[in-house]
Each structure stands twice: as structure tokens, then as C-alpha cells.
Amino acid sequence: MRKIIHVDMDQFFAAVEQLDHPELKDKSIAVGHDAERGVVSTASYEARRFGVHSAQSIQVAKRLCPQLIIVEPHFQRYKEVSAQLHAIFHDYTDLIEPISLDEAFLDVTENKPGIELGVDIAREIKQRIKDTTGLTASAGVSYCKFLAKIASDWRKPDGLTVVHPDKALDFIAQLRVEKIWGVGQKTAEKMHMMGIFTGADLRQMSLSRLQQEFGKMGQVFHDFALGIDNRPVISEWERKSVSCERTFEKDISKQADVTIHLYHTVLELVQRIKKSEFEGRTLTLKVKFQDFQQITRSITVDHVLRTKEAILPLAKQLMHQVDFSSHPIRLIGLGVSNQKDTPQDHQRWIQLELDFEPWSVNNPQNKSLL
């Protein structure tokens, strides 16, 4: 049986800022750029009590929490702490799949110290993170990535939860379908019309019906409802694309402004391509308008795109296809993709939330090889 751990740092960016600046401890803070279109990267738990959350507009966050302190992000510092975390992880296994700076999957089925129980490894990792960085982490332990991720989210902050294989079906049965990976708003609405509201309801549906209604995702939903997730922990990812985008303080609609911003976006993209040594042949333009409508345009060529001279004419060609004369632009993005011999994309995780009681590590009945 596999032993998978998902480690997720608690309020990572905000926690680092509070650690480095003791005067911010126990204060409502949000990490982000304090501007008209600034976005919250991470909010402290004190701020979250007022409804402040990541990906929220800074302006909305300040209205919800008038005493909110906005802290500019220090990404180099976050990367340094992340490197400390991974050094700890590597003491237990080299099968580590980073999801972001502050979370990762670990396959500890065969681990370096030879510790039998995955939960003991998770507990040890949490303590070492605390001793090394001064920060807390939450961890989930199960036999697959799907359930380990869910478990790590439940008892935040500083939580440790096990989903035992013997209890997995009961655990999943109570899930609202909205909380299952891959189920967005429209899919949830469609499931509701089919009478599917929980994991238990989903389990009652035949595979053929799910595939008929949801295509390839029907197999995924069917497997998750049965507690099946055989995806491996992948320690190395092959980059599929390089991209960058610019959100403007004020919307732009003049041709001169668009040309200037497009030029600078190309320069930034070229720098990122050079740094990553990426070789792609498809250029994609993303434009988001004032009303948040978004369009993309792409073009593929028979040569590698890596220089300003190669990319800028194509970017202008794509932008010529966009009518912004009466539709102001708030964001421009450019990306290069389509490497030769690119392997199949791996599925990524999104944040999941639960509203029911899972199987806690504190319950002795749940202690086993996990």
C-alpha cells in the first residue's frame, strides 16, 4: 500500500512576513500590492475572519477589514524558506512533487529513515519545519494524492489528518460534489440536475452514464467516488510553456499604448525563455478586457521562438486580430508553448475545502501502515 503525504504550509506568505516582522504578529495582514487592481496573495488567519482571502481584490479586502495591513510580497525570501522545506523533505524521500512554493506531495512508501508509518513521518516533518523555520505546516496522509490533499486541508492550521483506506469510502461519501477535484460550477449544476449531490450519489452512477455526460472526466469522477487515484508522485516536471502577463493600473485602448505594453511584455517573455532555456514554436496572446471578458489568439511557426525579433512581429500580428477600439484592455499576456516531443500534460491540483469530519490521526482506530 502506498503512503502519500501532502504538506501544506499555513498562510505561508503572511506567516513569513509575521515571522520576519514581529510587529505584524496577530495582526490582520494581506500580502499583495496595494493598488487599485492589486490582488491578495495570502491573508493571515486574523484577516480571514473578516472574509479576506487569496485572489481577492485588495480594495475589496480593505472594505471587509478596515484595519487590514497590506504588506508588499518578498518572493526571494519565500523561495529561501521553500528551499529549507525541500531540504527537510529530501531527508525522507526523493519522490517529491512540488505544487507551489508552500506545498508538495511526498511518496514515503519506501523512505530513507525506514520509518514504518507515514503518519510518523508527517509528524516528524511538521516538527522539523517548526524547529527550522519557525513556521507551522499542515499535513495529510493517505494512500493516494486525492485523499492526502483533502486531509491536509481539514485541520488547518498546524493540522495532521489521516484518511485510512478502510474509511476512505465513508469519507468520500460525505463530500459535496462541488468539493471533488474537477467539478466546477457548471459541472456541479449538471450533476445536481442528475440528482448527484454527494460522493455517495456519484458512486451510484454508472461509468457509462458519467462518460456520456462528462466525457473523459467521467472516468475521473467515477474513480474518485470509489477512492481510486493511481497517479504517481512525480518528482520532475517538464516545462510545457513559458508565459508572462501585465495587468494595467488603468485600462488602455489607444493603439500607441497597446503597442508599448505589448513590446515590454515581449521583452519580459524573452527573458523568461532565456532563463528557462525553453524551446517552443507556438505563441499565444491573451487579452482581458475592462469587463473581464477574455480572449486568446495563437499562431504556430516552424522555428523555435526565443528572440524579440522572432516574437514581436507575431505578437503584433495576433494583436491586430483584437478589436479594442471601444473595448479597453486591462491585461495583456504572452506565452510560448508547443515543444517537440512534448509528453502528455499531468493533472494539477486545485485547493479543496471540506465541511465534514474526516478521520483524525488522534483516533487510535485509524492508526495502521499509514
pLDDT per residue as tens digits for the range 7-36: 999 999 999 999 999 999 999 999 999 988
Q: Quick check: 225 and 309 in contact, CB under 8 A? A: no
Helix axes 185-193, 207-214, angle to 10 degrees: 130
| SS3 sequence of 111-122 | CCCCCCCHHHHH
Helix (H) / strand (E) containing 216 = none
| Cis-peptide, bond into residue 157, ω within 30° of zero | yes
**What average pLDDT does the chain have?**
89
Residue 126 CA to residue 300 CA, distance in Å, equals 47
What is the tens place of the pLDDT at every residue in 62-92?
999 999 999 999 999 999 999 999 999 999 9
Which range has the worst mean pLDDT, 22-31, 261-270, 330-339? Answer: 330-339
**pLDDT class for 149, splitting at 50, 70, 90?**
very high
Cell of 328: 479597453
Q: Which domains does the chain have, with CATH numbers?
A: 1-165 (3.30.70.270), 176-215 (no CATH), 241-337 (3.30.1490.100)
* Contact assessment for residue 361 and residue 162, using Cβ atoms and an 8 Å cutoff: yes
What is residue 37's predicted lDDT score, i.e. its pLDDT? Answer: 82
Per-residue confidence band for 370, with pLDDT thresholds at 50, 70 and 90:
low
Q: Are 111 and 71 in contact (CB under 8 A)?
A: no
Going by C-beta distance under 8 Å and a sequence separation of 6 or more, which residues neighbour residue 222?
202, 205, 207, 210, 211
Task: Please report the pLDDT score of residue 69 as a whole number.
Answer: 97
What does the pLDDT read at residue 344?
39
**pLDDT exceeds cutoff 90 at 119:** yes
**Could you count the other beta carbons within 10 Å of the beta carbon of residue 303?**
8
205: left (phi over 0), alpha (psi -120 to 50) or beta: beta
Per-residue pLDDT, averaged over 315-328, amounts to 92
Asked if residue 2 lies in contact with residue 147, where contact means CB atoms within 8 angstroms, the answer is no
**101 or 236: which leads in pLDDT:** 101
Q: How far apart are CA 202 and CA 206, in angstroms?
A: 9
Q: What is the pLDDT of residue 276?
A: 86
Q: H helices of 167-254, where? A: 168-173, 185-193, 199-204, 207-214, 217-225
Residue 12 grid coordinates: 505561508
For residues 264 and 246, what is the distance between their CA atoms, to the nearest angstrom?
A: 9
What is the structure's pLDDT at 345?
38
**Average pLDDT of 38-44?**
94
**Strand segments (E) across the chain:** 4-9, 29-31, 42-43, 69-71, 96-100, 103-107, 137-142, 160-162, 241-252, 280-289, 294-305, 329-337
Taking residues 266-287, report their average pLDDT. Answer: 93
Catalytic position from the list 17, 46, 103, 178: 103
What is the DSSP secondary-structure string of 43-95?
E-HHHHTTT--TTSBHHHHHHH-TTPEEE---HHHHHHHHHHHHHHHTTT-S-
Measured between alpha carbons, how far is 117 from 153 in angstroms, rounded to an integer?
Answer: 20
Q: What is the pLDDT of residue 367?
A: 44
151, 203 Cβ separation under 8 angstroms: no
Backbone angles phi, psi at 299, to 5 degrees: -145, 140
Does the pLDDT value for residue 357 go beyond 60?
Answer: no
**Which of the 8 DSSP states describes residue 343?**
P
**Looking at residue 179, what is its pLDDT?**
81
CA within 13 Å, CB half, 166 = 6
Q: Are 107 and 229 in contact (CB under 8 A)?
A: no
What percent of the chain clears pLDDT 90, i.e. is strictly above it?
78
Give yes or no: 236 in active site.
no
Q: Tens digits of per-residue pLDDT, 202-241?
A: 999 999 999 999 999 999 999 999 999 999 999 877 778 8
pTM (2 d.p.): 0.74
The closest alpha carbon to 148, from 349, 12, 367, belongs to 349
More confident residue, 200 or 350: 200
Q: Are the C-beta atoms of residues 329 and 257 closer than 8 Å to each other? A: no
% the chain with pLDDT above 70 = 91
